[in-house]
Chain A
Amino acid sequence: MIRINDVTKKFPTVTALQNISLTVADGEFFGLLGPNGAGKSTLMNLLIGYLDPDGGEITVGDDKVTRDNLEARKNIGLVPQSLALYDDISAQENLEIFGSFYHIEKRTLRHRIEERLRAVELYDRRKDRVSTFSGGMKRRLNLIASLLHDPSLLLCDEPTVGVDPQSRNAIFDYLEMLNCAGKTIVYTTHYMEEAERLCTRIAIIDSGTIITEGTLDDLLAKLSYEESISIIKNSSTIGKLELFRQFGTVIDDDDRFELKPNGTFRLSSFFKSVEEQGVSTRFIEMSKPTLEALFLNLTGRSLRD
């Protein structure tokens, strides 16, 4: 179990985390969702003991995580956001190097390397230099390099950045398989789709504070409406902003208005009003609320900002 208790981390020009408290149970697939710069990576760096908090405390199992407590790291695997690999040597050599840091018996390490390479479909390329790999292949290698010591806790810091959909799905499948096998996974992302697909529990972080947390259903239930309404921007809708505002809060996004319905919202009266004002219903989309909508609701900003 991970316990993050009132953790604060400050850098010379910014407070990256402010009084964060979280608990992650064993076997959970926990998502940390937030825009860039929200403090996700800082929290990961604290969880791995790369940084020490300025206040508060983090424990993983019975071990307090600090920069000097090497013992705590033995059961943690980190998938860094960057491709932390040596480009000029082969995939297998990379894994042998990273595996050697954990003093794994040679035969066991060799067996694990083969097994992990096969699992992410890189076994046939194991002797090729990493520099010849595609971005997706490097991402998969980056992932399994963190699993050679068979950690019970895996920290994934945006592990799919810049990855093609096929590799992303392969990574998702593999992580789900690991989670099913009992590993606890903490997964940071600014893609709500990833958090929605993978995570059993999610915390939304913004500007160094946790603004909400819970299961996906818990979080979506925090929205006061059941339908999310998007109005595509065009010549017939742009001038109708005041009309839309009668039905709820409108967020002016790039190519559309996002309408967060208020408590008295009735779908029938909304459609009737917009049609009377000459707005074609073709430009109105309805969908189930998402974490994106929740984030907008809570912060007034998009996750992509």
Chain B
Amino acid sequence: MKTVLALITKEYKLFLSDRVAMGLTFLIPIFLIAIWGSIFGSADSGPEHLGLAFLNASSAPIGRNIEKVLDTTRTFRLVKSYQDERGNQIPFDTVTIKDYVRKGNASAALVIPPDAYTDTSIGLKLKFYYDPKNEMEMRIIQGVLTQTIMSQLPGAFIEGMQRKAVRFLGLDSGTAFNTGIKSLVSRYFNIDTGKIVFPSLTDTTAASSRESKGGRDFFKNVLDFESEQLVGKNIANPMATRSVGGWAMMFLMFTLTASSVSLFEEKQSGVVLRILASPISRVQILWSKYLYNMSLGFVQLTVLFVFGSILFKIDVLSNLAGLILLLVAASMACTSFGMLLSAVSKTQSQARGLGTFLILAMSSIGGAWFPTSFMPGFIQAFSKLTLVYWSMDGFLQVLWRGAPVVDILPNLGVLVGIAAVITSVSVLQFKKGHVF
């Protein structure tokens, strides 16, 4: 037993000797739990302020009611106008709102058309345009929207029926008819008409909870919810096409981190000293490492995408130039990331620990695991600082949206910029650092 205790003590001493590595052991799970908790933590939590393009072209009260409810729900942030080239805010029309979604500015749009609800109609017409670039986000949008709209239907329907009765039959007969129709509706559609009340327009949850099952079955027949997928209709494997970028980036970063920290092994074995004893400069070593890792990253990504195209029918050929440029830019950025780890870490285990932490952090807040729109606002701001975000967005543009090269120029620019900044920092750090 004493021997085992001595061995355990030895393990703890070694573990505690590297404070950075020790800190990361706890920091990584805490960080990830915090991220997951902020998204899926409590029962009443959920995505907030998802961008929803909205156009209400109807003059009917129900349109205003729906707009009011959507405006006050925390799930959505209604976008009712777009910015033109001059920077002016222009209200949507039926054409521009679709373009807005097509360009990826919002995942969905809800249009309440002029003829959404008339005194002569018995149902509600709505148009829904969407881009399912992220399935999880789309399901939540559709779910919350359906819930909100359905909560408005009972009151609107009853009100409409009553108005029609009064108009056709006159006030007295109409009132008598309305009383009678209640019992008819109750009898034939199995609805407790006493529970049909005008719901509070600002409390969708309460309204929803008051709905009876029979009510939902009935009212769904009077809702004409015309939906149209605007982007990615012809994609053979939407799931694989959407997720390939995020996973590819995560594995690329792991590969390049491992490759970059090999500098520590070379230093430890004395190979770095042998190399530097020959007519080779430190800068040449760094550049050779950089170019090697970049080419390795590029080949890894290429193999992954080729494999994806064969096995999952991901269309890599339609926009090959854009894809190749993205692969190069992503490899550059990931390579720089690996170099930075080597430059700022004092030991190999520190580099590995820090690498794991940053990779998981960037993958989670960069959108590789779940949509960035699900995250709290301040984390969404951070996500745009990650190379995962810009790479994933670029891959989505190219593979999902079929965007031309010009559309991914911002992504390419940011990735190359990230690579340039991180590489410069790494080189400066290497000059005064521990590896050489």
Please list the residues of chain A having a beta carbon within 8 angstroms of any beta carbon in chain B.
Answer: 45, 48-50, 67-68, 70-71, 73-74, 76-78, 80-86, 98, 101-102, 145-146, 149
Q: Mark B275-298, 1 if CB is under 8 A from A, else 0.
A: 111111110000000000000000
Instruction: Sample 14 A-B pairs with CB under 8 A, ordered by A number.
Output: A45-B273, A48-B273, A48-B276, A70-B281, A73-B277, A77-B277, A78-B274, A80-B270, A80-B274, A83-B269, A84-B270, A98-B274, A145-B274, A146-B277
With both beta carbons as reference points, the residue of chain A lying nearest to B279 in the complex is identified as: A70
Which residues of the partner chain B approach A102 to less than 8 Å between Cβ atoms? 278-279
Which residues of the partner chain B approach A85 to less than 8 Å between Cβ atoms? 269, 271
Select A82's contact among B269, B278, B279, beta carbons within 8 Å. B269
Which residues of the partner chain A approach B279 to less than 8 Å between Cβ atoms? 70-71, 73-74, 101-102
Complex Cα distance A98/B278, Å? 9
Complex Cα distance A145/B269, Å? 14
Q: Are B271 and A84 interface neighbours, CB within 8 A?
A: yes
Given contacts A84-B274, A145-B274, 11 further A-B contacts (CB under 8 A): A49-B277, A70-B281, A73-B279, A81-B270, A85-B271, A86-B269, A98-B274, A101-B280, A102-B278, A102-B279, A149-B278
Q: Are A101 and B273 interface neighbours, CB within 8 A?
A: no
Please list the residues of chain B having a beta carbon within 8 angstroms of any beta carbon in chain A.
Answer: 268-271, 273-282
With both beta carbons as reference points, the residue of chain B lying nearest to A98 in the complex is identified as: B274
Q: Are B270 and A83 interface neighbours, CB within 8 A?
A: yes
With both beta carbons as reference points, the residue of chain A lying nearest to B284 in the complex is identified as: A70
With both beta carbons as reference points, the residue of chain B lying nearest to A103 in the complex is identified as: B279
Which residues of the partner chain A approach B277 to less than 8 Å between Cβ atoms? 48-50, 73, 76-78, 80, 146
Instruction: Determine how close the nearest CB of chain A comes to the CB of B113; give it in whole angstroms.
Output: 69
Q: A68 and B281 in contact (CB under 8 A), knowing A80-B270, A82-B269, A84-B270?
A: yes
With both beta carbons as reference points, the residue of chain B lying nearest to A145 in the complex is identified as: B274
Instruction: Determine how close the nearest CB of chain A comes to the CB of B406; give it in whole angstroms.
Output: 43
A-B pairs, 10 with minimum CB distance: A82-B270, A84-B270, A78-B277, A101-B278, A70-B279, A84-B274, A80-B270, A48-B277, A84-B271, A73-B279
> Chain A's interface: helix, strand, loop or mixed, by majority?
loop
Complex Cα distance A151/B378, Å? 61
Which residues of the partner chain B approach A49 to less than 8 Å between Cβ atoms? 276-277
Complex Cα distance A202/B286, Å? 38
> Chain B's interface: helix, strand, loop or mixed, by majority?
helix
Instruction: Determine how close the nearest CB of chain B comes to the CB of A130; give it in whole angstroms.
Output: 11
Instruction: Determine how close the nearest CB of chain A comes to the CB of B153; give it in whole angstroms.
Output: 70
Complex Cα distance A67/B432, Å? 13
Complex Cα distance A176/B275, Å? 25
Which residues of the partner chain A approach B281 to less than 8 Å between Cβ atoms? 68, 70
With both beta carbons as reference points, the residue of chain A lying nearest to B277 in the complex is identified as: A78
Complex Cα distance A49/B436, Å? 12
Instruction: Determine how close the nearest CB of chain A comes to the CB of B100; give it in whole angstroms.
Output: 56
Which residues of the partner chain B approach A98 to less than 8 Å between Cβ atoms? 274, 278
Complex Cα distance A48/B268, Å? 18
Complex Cα distance A68/B280, Å? 9
With both beta carbons as reference points, the residue of chain B lying nearest to A86 in the complex is identified as: B271
With both beta carbons as reference points, the residue of chain B lying nearest to A99 in the complex is identified as: B278
Select A70's contact among B270, B271, B280, beta carbons within 8 Å. B280
Complex Cα distance A149/B277, Å? 12
With both beta carbons as reference points, the residue of chain B lying nearest to A100 in the complex is identified as: B278
Instruction: Determine how close the nearest CB of chain A comes to the CB of B24; give it in whole angstroms.
Output: 25
Instruction: Determine how close the nearest CB of chain B comes to the CB of A125; give it in whole angstroms.
Output: 20
Complex Cα distance A86/B275, Å? 12
Instruction: Determine how close the nearest CB of chain A comes to the CB of B116; give it in whole angstroms.
Output: 71
Complex Cα distance A112/B292, Å? 28
* Residue among B268, B271, B275 facing the most chain A CB atoms (10 A cut-off): B271
Instruction: Determine how close the nearest CB of chain B comes to the CB of A131; give it in whole angstroms.
Output: 12
Which residues of the partner chain B approach A145 to less than 8 Å between Cβ atoms? 274
Complex Cα distance A45/B279, Å? 14
With both beta carbons as reference points, the residue of chain A lying nearest to B283 in the complex is identified as: A68
Q: Are B269 and A84 interface neighbours, CB within 8 A?
A: yes
Complex Cα distance A86/B274, Å? 12
Which residues of the partner chain A approach B269 to less than 8 Å between Cβ atoms? 82-86
* Residue among A82, A85, A102, A146 facing the most chain B CB atoms (10 A cut-off): A82
Complex Cα distance A45/B280, Å? 15
Complex Cα distance A284/B282, Å? 56
Which residues of the partner chain B approach A73 to less than 8 Å between Cβ atoms? 277-279
Q: Are A78 and B273 interface neighbours, CB within 8 A?
A: yes
Select B276's contact among A50, A74, A82, beta carbons within 8 Å. A50
With both beta carbons as reference points, the residue of chain A lying nearest to B268 in the complex is identified as: A82
Complex Cα distance A73/B281, Å? 11
Instruction: Determine how close the nearest CB of chain B comes to the CB of A79; give it in whole angstroms.
Output: 9
Complex Cα distance A80/B270, Å? 7
* Residue among B268, B269, B278, B279 facing the most chain A CB atoms (10 A cut-off): B278
Complex Cα distance A70/B277, Å? 9
Complex Cα distance A83/B274, Å? 10
Instruction: Determine how close the nearest CB of chain B comes to the CB of A282; give it in whole angstroms.
Output: 44
Which residues of the partner chain B approach A70 to less than 8 Å between Cβ atoms? 279-281
Which residues of the partner chain A approach B278 to less than 8 Å between Cβ atoms? 73, 98, 101-102, 149
